[in-house]
Amino acid sequence: MKKQLLVLGAGTAGTMIVNKLRRRLDVGTWDITVVDRDDVHPYQPGYLFLPFGTYSPKQVTRSRHKFLSDHVDFVIGEVDVIDPGSSTVTLTGGREIRYDYLVIASGTSPRPDQTPGMLGSEWRRSIFDFFTLDGSLALAEALRHFDHGRLVVHIADMPIKCPVAPLEFTFLADAWLRKQGLRDRVELVYVTPLPGAFTKPIASERLGSMLDDRKIVVEADFLVEHIDPEAKTLVSYDEREIPFDLLVTIPINMGADFVARSGLGDELNYVAVDKHTLLSKVWPNIFAVGDASDIPASKAGSVAHFAVDIFVDNFLEHIAGKPMTRAFDGHANCFIESGDGKGLLIDFNYDTEPLPGSYPVPYIGPMKLLKETRANHLGKLAFRWIYWNILLPGRRMPVPTLMSMAGKTVPTTTSSTD
């Protein structure tokens, strides 16, 4: 009987995994099945640009099936529950799928229902998200009619998909308002639960100064308790209040509900795994890769990319009964759009915060780290083509999987953090 590899989720991590492993697992010995709820694969970084008209919906969505290798069985269905004891997954409707090895790659999703008042009478009227297709398009319509008032960009809590995306939206909104001749009529406010603009001090100082230069007010250490839709006010646990005319919010992000129903998740439905091997801390035949895991890394596409590169080699060793010899270091890099055709790039991992320097070639680049450049902006735009044509098909990317310190410098005024 053939061995069965089952992957839950045909997003970035799941698609890369099945494509890479299909090339390396014998077709006569292994069946590979991937399950997702629909056949629409979103290019999620593109959602950031929809409100400003840079991209159209057709440019940020494709068929999932189009990107899956031959001899991969794609099942469209909702996962109801995983039974690790019997190594089966039950779909809504009752279909059971047996597995020998399971990879949970079901991602993370915004949950506006977790904040009282967010889904009240002002949802999609004066309160918007942009990390869903519908939300981003609704926000685009709202911005077309917004010509004065208080625009608040808000993060409910961490972790979130792409932690720099709210900053990017804020910078792009500032640039867009200036181009419309409206910036003097709009107060821009950035509200975060963090003590500063970012999680690490060097990047936080740089990004914070960029917000200051653009006269964007920062409300830090703000943990929202509820939203008052009638008063159009954010209210924190320490009873601070922030009024808004237009609120662009990043709701609490959570993993899939079936993870909770299966008893595999933490309080946010993320699967507990070893942060280096991505193997479940409980079940020796279950892995969680990408945003579905509880690893202390950014929930960003680059993390999924680098983690998958490590995972594939480890998985092949694991199924052969050998020790897994590769260790994921939490490597992430993210372009940060800053408006006016410029952007920044950050590169970091579990142990090293974003630092100045050059990427991917030390001292040459062409990308500059923690510095606004035209090249970084063009790199962000070019990545959409790379994503569809190189990353998802599982082709080799000419960048290091593990983070390198080559070409990076540690500012003498700020020490590196753990």
pLDDT of residue 254: 98
Cβ within 8 Å of residue 94, ≥6 positions away: none
Bridge partners of 33, per DSSP, are: 6, 73
Domain ranges of the chain: 3-108+255-319, 110-252, 331-418
CATH fold of 3-108+255-319: FAD/NAD(P)-binding domain (3.50.50)
CATH fold of 110-252: FAD/NAD(P)-binding domain (3.50.50)
pLDDT of residue 416: 42
pLDDT of residue 413: 57
Q: Are 3-108+255-319 and 110-252 the same fold in CATH? A: yes
- As a dihedral over the C-alpha atoms of residue 399, residue 401, residue 402, residue 404, rounded to 10 degrees, the angle is 0
pLDDT of residue 415: 41
pLDDT of residue 311: 98
Task: Tell me which residues of the chain have a pLDDT lower than 70.
Answer: 413-418
Secondary structure (DSSP) of 188-248: EEEE-SSSSSSSSHHHHHHHHHHHHHTT-EEE-S--EEEEETTTTEEEETT--EEE-SEEE
User: For 48-52, which contacts have Cβ atoms below 8 Å and span 24 or more sequence positions?
Assistant: 48/130, 48/136, 48/165, 48/168, 48/169, 48/172, 48/337, 49/172, 50/130, 50/133, 50/136, 50/137, 50/139, 50/140, 51/130, 51/136, 51/139, 51/140, 51/143, 51/169, 52/140, 52/143, 52/172, 52/176
- Token pair 């942009």 is found at 130
pTM: 0.95
Among positive and negative, which fits the CA dihedral 215, 221, 227, 228? negative
pLDDT of residue 173: 98
pLDDT of residue 363: 86
